[in-house]
A and B are shown apart, each in its own frame.
Chain A
Amino acid sequence: MDEKLKQSLAAFRGQRGATIPALQKAQEILGYLPEEAISEVASLLGMSTNEVYGVATFYSQFRFERPGDHQIKCCLGTACYVQGSSRILEAVEDELKLPRDRFTTDDYKFSVERVACLGSCALAPVMVIDESVYGRMTPAKAREILNKI
């Protein structure tokens, strides 16, 4: 983990305003931002870990807990909301037996995130699992897709 991370991040040394791109790279490699990643970015850019945490925690893209193997994003943007997407989210949380206030299932198979808008509004309601975008969702379809993974 250390070597690959160090090498990929080294490219950001000396770059102006590199905090966010560096954090994004670290998360791309590790799947989330553990303490070691924050320290690495901090020392690379000559900032304190405190400062880097301050930036990282502002942005909702960054995760600080180990995510599941599969990332589920349920869109709760306007167009999806109006087409009933909150029911999709409920169905997903229920199907995965997701504990309250947790984003990841106990077996670390799935992580569920609510997002504001994925930009495929004409196909509302939309759900994304990893790289696949699913449009025109219903609670039943969502459960079916989850069970196939």
Chain B
Amino acid sequence: MSYEEIKSQAISEWGALQQSKKPRIFVGTATCGRAAGAMATLEALKKELAAARIDAVIMQVGCIGFCYAEPLVDIIKPGRPRISYGSITPQLAAQLVKDYLINDNPRPDLAIGTIGDGEIPGIPKLAETPLMKGQVRLATRNCGFIDPTDIKHYIANSGYGGFTKALKMTPEAVIDEIKKSGLRGRGGAGFPTGQKWEFCRRSAGKEKYLICNADEGDPGAFMNRSQLESDPHSVLEGMLIGAYAIGTTQGFIYCRAEYPLAIEHLEIAIKQMRDAGLLGKNILGSNFSFDIEIREGAGAFVCGEETALMVSIEGKRGMPRSRPPFPAVSGLWGKPSNINNVGTWADVSTIMQNSGEWYSKYGSEKSKGTKTFSLAGKVVRTGLIEVPMGIPLKNIIYEIGGGISSGKNFKAVLTGGPSGGCLPANLMDLPVDYENLAQAGSIVGSGGMLVADESTCMVDMARFFLSFCQSESCGKCVPCRVGTRQMLTILERITKGKGTPEDIPTLEKLATLLKSTSLCALGQTAPNPTLTTLRYFRSEFEAHINEKRCPSLACKELTNYYILPDKCEGCQICFRNCPVQAISGGKRMIHIIDQSKCTKCNTCFSVCPERFSAVVKVSGQKIEVPAEPIPVPERPKAVKAA
């Protein structure tokens, strides 16, 4: 079938679906959904619908972004708005079929919100909930609404309209449109995309390459995974537009092997593109030819760096090189190449489907548009969000995120992964964009946002990120190879109570060295978490070094567990559960932990009944306990308050 025929069929099928008299049920089966049990929920739905002889349309969709409430099930009953339900176990799925589809009880207790026209008593409109109110879902508009394995769904929703528009323009005009939008690279560096394309277009030579960086190595970031699993065509259309504008004939998607579902959806999508005449020679009857190959990463964080990524595609060890020459001049196999992140490509198709000027109305003065963020950690509503650049940090954490999940105090938000920094409580009003975060000592990075509460030790987090960079260092340049090792050794000593006052100035000196002399951004940014935690949480470092105390009670060597003699009732639960038999004590005897055997696994703390709360975790202090178990003394019974 020709593209036009497919498009016309797609639009009429989608239209018919919207008017369907059958109930429509959407189940989120992206990786996060599956991790929460979505496939079992899907099976339960199918079983219950069959048993009730209800003819419904069931669609497996991608990630709408409410990861905290997975498994997610959305239901449209004809004539009613769509209802989004959260935390739907197989049992609750069966209940929904009976209660809502048969007995017309929409179960407000299970609902998150409604989407579309109409009201359902007791259920708020999703767009008005704190979760969605601040979000502007442009790149992610299809995620959770279309079947990612069906190109017709994408096409029916303005899909590839950006590309067909671009084909009618000159390549230079397309580049201009991207420049007008103000789009900056979403991989982390934030370089103006239009300009980058122009460099590559202007480079001499006919053989040029287009690359999509889908390596997403930052721990804590899953924006790209979500986009590729839920709406792969949004990225592929962006690549088509870029290839046309720059003048490349071959594209590569370098996707990390840890994302098998994303790769599967990409493979399906690319095949459907070929069948529709959107890939190959003379696309849609034009002079433009382009094809895409998928290359899987092999577990090297450094291959997210552009020069390492390209050399990895060439089949070598993923070691970066110095620039200039930049990829736009000499990249893959020495030819001019343009590499952009998954998020950037998705934004490109969004922009071309509308206009550069339209996109530039969102965001802040120097950071235009919207950005996806992976909100995770100690926040109530973890998930994939898309917000306008410049949104105040507190809106993300407290409104969209719903505040701190543990009930403890907020401590910091870690942005930009292992290359980034932390933003403490007094920066809550900071607008989140490239310039502001850089000034505060952090970076937007690829979009990982991790919320830490008072139980997170910032010294330990600095050590954690550095340990990651150190093990992922390619080893080519001395500053990074040796420097990260030295910084890590110092941080490890500090977390183990063996720090000295000279350690802090040494860390700062090493940090400056790495930042200014490392070959690539891995080494250059590896000191960032250490530098920002020193900037905002110096007192924690000083406590570890001078007092051998971890204020957050996180560093194992500096914390001890004790059973309080005046609270222990000798119930023996901790004794039975200790995996290393470090607790002694019989029935109705005060139990004692042998500090030399204790592995600080936290089991006794978590199993001690709440009404006793006899186990405490302390740092920098010693609790007096009997030398051996003694009988629990008679204690006056607690007097109940009148």
Contacts and interface: CB of A to CB of B under 8 A. Distances in A.
A19 interface: yes
A120 B70 CA distance: 11
B67 A122 contact: yes
Contacts of B472: 116
A15 to B, nearest CB: 9
| Max chain B Cβ within 10 angstroms of own Cβ: one of A77, A94, A115, A124 | A77
Interface in B427-477: 448, 450, 452, 456, 461, 464-465, 468, 472, 474
B419 to A, nearest CB: 12
B36 A136 contact: yes
A24 B217 contact: no
Given A78-B220, A117-B220, A134-B35, A60 B299 contact: yes
B315 A18 contact: yes
B317 A58 contact: yes
Contacts of A78: 219-220, 376-377, 414, 417-418, 448, 450, 464-465
A124 to B, nearest CB: 6
Interface in B55-86: 67-68, 70
A78 B460 CA distance: 11
Contacts of A61: 257, 297-299
| Max chain B Cβ within 10 angstroms of own Cβ: one of A23, A61, A62 | A61
Interface in A77-121: 77-83, 87, 90, 94, 115-121
A54 interface: yes
A117 B221 contact: yes
Contacts of A126: 35
Contacts of A79: 219-220, 376-377, 382, 450
Given A116-B217, A120-B31, A82 B313 contact: no
Contacts of B222: 119-122
Nearest to A95: B579
B378 A58 contact: no
A14 interface: no
A135 B221 CA distance: 16
A19 B68 CA distance: 40
Contacts of B257: 24, 61
Contacts of B375: 122
Could you say which interface size class chain A belongs to? 35 or more
A115 B258 contact: yes
| Max chain B Cβ within 10 angstroms of own Cβ: one of A45, A134, A135 | A135
B219 A123 contact: no
A44 B602 CA distance: 53
A20 interface: yes
Contacts of A23: 298
B31 A20 contact: no
Nearest to A133: B35
Given A61-B298, A62-B298, A81-B464, A133 B31 contact: yes
Interface string B568-582: 000000000001000
B601 A90 contact: yes
B268 interface: no
A135 B298 CA distance: 24
A20 B300 CA distance: 12
Given A24-B296, A78-B450, A133-B31, A19 B217 contact: no
Given A19-B315, A122-B382, 17 more contacts: A20-B312, A21-B296, A61-B297, A82-B450, A83-B377, A83-B378, A115-B258, A116-B468, A117-B221, A119-B31, A119-B258, A120-B31, A121-B222, A121-B374, A122-B222, A123-B70, A139-B603
Interface of A: 16-21, 23-24, 45, 54-55, 58-62, 76-83, 87, 90, 94, 115-124, 126, 133-136, 139
Interface of B: 31-32, 34-36, 67-68, 70, 216-222, 225, 257-259, 295-301, 312-318, 333, 374-378, 382-384, 414, 417-418, 448, 450, 452, 456, 461, 464-465, 468, 472, 474, 579, 599, 601-603
